[in-house]
């Protein structure tokens, strides 16, 4: 039993180290500051990370770490994706942030996240053989009823 618990604890840092978006819970229609954490957990440096903003998410402000660059892709006036370009060495991480207005309806936001490495490989941290990764989902709670 203790050995199984130790084995489980050994995997926790690896799971939490993937590219992720926080907070993991917000409110429908709220304006929220989100943080993208971009770690390099392997032996090859990260060169960039991309996030796609689903329909209904309105990005208002983007913040990248000093010294790193970012580009946004727009469709009409809406920001639909953000790419942060950086040299994140193994064992290090950076954080970028954005402020967005959540959709007014729905129960979750599924963020599409991709991480690119110096050797040309790409990791998709959103969809896998077992479905959507929890690091790429923000649950949305309903807005409280307005009082009159």
How many Cα atoms within 13 Å fall on the side-chain side of residue 118?
11
Task: Give the model's confidence band at 17: pLDDT under 50 very low, under 70 low, under 90 confident, else very high.
Answer: low
Give pTM, 2 decimals: 0.82
| Cα distance between residue 127 and residue 136, in whole Å | 9
Residues 82 and 21: beta-carbon distance below 8 Å: no
Neighbours of 76 (CB within 10 A): 5
pLDDT of 59 = 98
- Pick the more confident residue, 2 or 54: 54
pLDDT of 11 = 31
End-to-end C-alpha distance for the chain, whole angstroms: 56
Per-residue pLDDT at 136 exceeds 70: yes
Q: Take residue 7 and report the two structure tokens written for it.
A: 């084995």
Task: Give the model's confidence band at 81: pLDDT under 50 very low, under 70 low, under 90 confident, else very high.
Answer: very high
Neighbours of 114 (CB within 10 A): 17
pLDDT of 3 = 35
């Amino acid at each position: 039993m203790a050995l199984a618990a130790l084995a489980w604890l050994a995997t926790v840092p690896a799971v939490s180290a993937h590219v992720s978006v926080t907070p993991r819970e917000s409110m429908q229609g709220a304006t929220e500051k989100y943080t993208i954490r971009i770690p390099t957990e392997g032996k090859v440096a990260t060169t960039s990370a991309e996030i796609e903003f689903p329909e209904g998410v309105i990005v208002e402000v983007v913040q990248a770490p000093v010294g790193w660059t970012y580009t946004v892709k727009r469709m009409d006036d809406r920001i639909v994706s953000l790419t942060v370009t950086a040299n994140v060495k193994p064992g290090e991480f950076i954080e970028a942030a954005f402020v967005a207005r959540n959709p007014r309806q729905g129960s979750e936001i599924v963020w599409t996240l991709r991480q690119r490495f110096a050797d040309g490989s790409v990791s998709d941290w959103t969809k896998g053989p077992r479905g959507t990764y929890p690091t790429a989902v923000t649950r949305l709670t309903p807005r409280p009823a307005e009082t009159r």
